[in-house]
Amino acid sequence: MEIKSDYLIIGSGIAGLSFALKAALRGRVTIVTKKETMDASTNYAQGGIASVLDPHDSFDLHIKDTLESGAGLCNEQVVRMVVTNGPDMIKELISLGVNFSHNTTQTERLDLTQEGGHSRRRIVHTKDLTGQEVERALIYNAEKNKNIKIYENHMVIDLITTSKFIKRGLSTNETKETCWGAYVLDIITGEVNTFLSRVIVLATGGAGKVYLYTSNPDIATGDGVAIGYRAGAKVANMEFVQFHPTCLYHPMENNFLISESVRGEGGRLINKKGDHFMERYHPLKDLALRDVVARSIDTELKKSGDECVYLDISHRSSDFIKNRFPNIYMKCLELNIDITKEPIPVVPAAHYMCGGIMTDMQGRTNITNLYAIGEVACTGLHGANRLASNSLIEALVFSRFAFEDSAKTITGKDDYQFPPVPLWDTGSATDSDESVVVSHNWDEVRRMMWNYVGIVRTNKRLIRATRRIEVIQQEIKDYYWNFIIARDLLELRNLATVAELIITSATIRKESRGLHYNLDYLERDDNNWHHDTII
Ligand SMILES: Cc1cc2nc3c(=O)[nH]c(=O)nc-3n(C[C@H](O)[C@H](O)[C@H](O)COP(=O)(O)OP(=O)(O)OC[C@H]3O[C@@H](n4cnc5c(N)ncnc54)[C@H](O)[C@@H]3O)c2cc1C
């Protein structure tokens, strides 16, 4: 089957949906999403969205905080663009029906909370369920829009580009690679269909699942980075993986995040003995940047041999805790932890990918017609370390600028001619009788990345990881070409590619900066490494 549209959007999180709502004013929009529409990291965001809305705050302060967090690698122009467009984006969300929390004393004002690295209270939120509320409103608007068609359980395998799939279509004056659409697996029927489009948007989110412990949902397997990379898109800064310091540590719960705003509202980290250990690591104590807190916990755990540390907010009133953090309160209570009375066991976990498909200020990649927005992209906003709550706002601002740029190519002509594209060829692939290969390699990649390419790296560990990933990649390649594809195999293939990109980037950067911390090069080296790592 061949499905044609003006805009093909891959992913239904904040980036994909907010782009779709704009694009629908201009043409026919197709969204493909690999599970149900709401299965996205966006749905799990708790803390909120950073934006300058308080009279005591300023754009300059938000820019300064973002640049400081980015450890010298932010693109200042991009930071300014995102920060100054922030308030408009919040207004736009409100106009789409998003209900943000309001201040309890001045009820006409939005409630602004604080998170690590922010010098002012500037995080707009809906209690501790911000992402869920934003995703709800975006899906509601997208579903009732007649120009938007959403294909759930549809997973993109690869992009269709001129040089890879349409070689004969390459005319002599066409020097740049062009994207025409994607091959998409219908997960329910097993068919692979061809989706053609004039504009293609990667909005596939992050890659937390590449690590054993992560706050990310199952969809976060780095597909967009791997798909883009295979198509020839430039990938940047993959060594900068953010580990969230406080994921719930409990045998019954895999990846539940304890929001940074718990520390913003006075929560204190303690070890098993009850010591407030952050006092020993950083002058900002519990409100130090995420990477500092995550590394401090890692050191504390390695020193003590304990399995977790604890986050204690029980000194705040019970009413305040239940009202401000209803989601965290209830989730912990289900596990017999009453956070109004006792500390929460926590460990660090992979949380956010600062690197990704490299784009310019309009979200354009180096491939014609192909855009990347949201967590899959490396726009220059985050540099070597993302400031908390800066990612939802980045997705919103870039969806606006990417749309405005891409709209120039949609001239309203309905009879657009796509080049002839071959149908997906399954060749001689057969059904696999050994799924254990896939599950074993899934586990091995994630464990290897956690142990060798995690919060603290060394040259030796990176060499070991390089050797391991080469073997795993070969095994996956053999398997991929011989057996009929399914979602877990496609995800594993992408996960391994992303792992390889992280290892390679971490090996290239011979210094410690932001989120990349290598015990063999402890210092930041601005003379040699003050630039992005581009692959
Ligand atoms: C627990 C948690 C808490 C967070 N808290 C905050 C916060 O408070 N503030 C903040 O700013 N950020 C926060 N973040 C980060 C933020 O939520 C994400 O960066 C952001 O939501 C990413 O949005 P996105 O649209 O780029 O991707 P996502 O929301 O992850 O959406 C990606 C979409 O792509 C689809 N997809 C992926 N691969 C394919 C494929 N091959 N084919 C088809 N579809 C595909 C997925 O199914 C999904 O629909 C948090 C993240 C997590 C996990």
Helix (H) or strand (E) holding 445: helix 436-452
Q: Which amino acid is at 332?
A: C
Question: Is 39 exposed, middle or buried (CB count within 10 Å of its CB: 0-12, 13-18, 19+)?
Answer: buried
Name the token pair of 400.
């606006």
From ligand 1's centre to the CA of 43, what distance in Å?
A: 7
For residues 318 and 330, is the Cβ–Cβ distance under 8 A? Answer: no
Q: Tell me the CA distances in angstroms from 52 to 123, 129, 302, 442, one per residue in order.
A: 8, 20, 39, 41
- Ligand 1 neighbourhood includes 14 CB (under 6 angstroms): yes
Distance CA 185, CA 158 (A): 10
For residues 255 and 349, is the Cβ–Cβ distance under 8 A? Answer: yes
- Ligand 1 neighbourhood includes 71 CB (under 6 angstroms): no
pLDDT attached to residue 174: 56
Average pLDDT, the chain: 94
Distance CA 325, CA 267 (A): 12
Of all residues in the chain, the percent with pLDDT exceeding 70 is 98
pLDDT attached to residue 413: 64
CA 184 to mean position of chain CA atoms:
21
Question: Is 271 exposed, middle or buried (CB count within 10 Å of its CB: 0-12, 13-18, 19+)?
Answer: middle
**Side by side, which strands form the sheet with 112-113?**
49-50, 123-124, 112-113
Q: Which amino acid is at 315?
A: H
pLDDT band at 173 (very low <50, low <70, confident <90, very high): low
pLDDT attached to residue 429: 76
Known catalytic residue at 122: no
Distance CA 16, CA 202 (A): 8
Q: Is 176's pLDDT higher than 90?
A: no
- Ligand 1 neighbourhood includes 363 CB (under 6 angstroms): no
pLDDT band at 397 (very low <50, low <70, confident <90, very high): very high
Of all residues in the chain, the percent with pLDDT exceeding 90 is 82
Distance CA 177, CA 163 (A): 7
- Rounded to two decimals, the pTM is 0.94
| Strand pairing report for 356-358 and 377-378 | parallel
Name the token pair of 325.
């953090």
pLDDT attached to residue 411: 75
Query: Could you count the other beta carbons within 10 Å of the beta carbon of residue 337?
Result: 17
Distance CA 350, CA 454 (A): 8
pLDDT attached to residue 495: 97
Query: Could you count the other beta carbons within 10 Å of the beta carbon of residue 60?
Result: 11
The pLDDT tens digits of the residues spanning 246-273 come to 999 998 887 899 988 899 899 999 999 9
From ligand 1's centre to the CA of 22, what distance in Å?
A: 19
Name the token pair of 359.
């784009």
From ligand 1's centre to the CA of 306, what distance in Å?
A: 31
- Catalytic-role residue among 28, 290, 324, 493: 290
For residues 45 and 169, is the Cβ–Cβ distance under 8 A? Answer: no
Mean pLDDT for 139-144 is: 98
pLDDT attached to residue 22: 98
Distance CA 41, CA 503 (A): 24
pLDDT attached to residue 172: 43
The pLDDT tens digits of the residues spanning 178-221 come to 999 999 999 999 999 999 999 999 999 999 999 988 999 999 99
From ligand 1's centre to the CA of 375, what distance in Å?
A: 7
Q: Is 431's pLDDT higher than 90?
A: no
Query: Among the residues of 103-258, which ranges form H helices?
Result: 130-143, 162-165, 223-231
pLDDT attached to residue 72: 98
- Higher local confidence (pLDDT), 173 or 340: 340
pLDDT band at 165 (very low <50, low <70, confident <90, very high): confident
Distance CA 369, CA 387 (A): 30
Identify the residue whose tokens are 């939120």: 125
pLDDT attached to residue 271: 96
pLDDT band at 275 (very low <50, low <70, confident <90, very high): very high
In b/e form, how buried is each residue of 456-467, taking b as 16+ CB within 10 angstroms?
Answer: ebeeebbebbbe
Distance CA 404, CA 384 (A): 28
For residues 476 and 485, is the Cβ–Cβ distance under 8 A? Answer: no
The pLDDT tens digits of the residues spanning 446-474 come to 999 998 999 999 999 999 999 999 999 99
Q: Is 83's pLDDT higher than 60?
A: yes
pLDDT band at 168 (very low <50, low <70, confident <90, very high): low
Atom of ligand 1 nearest to the CA of 261: 8
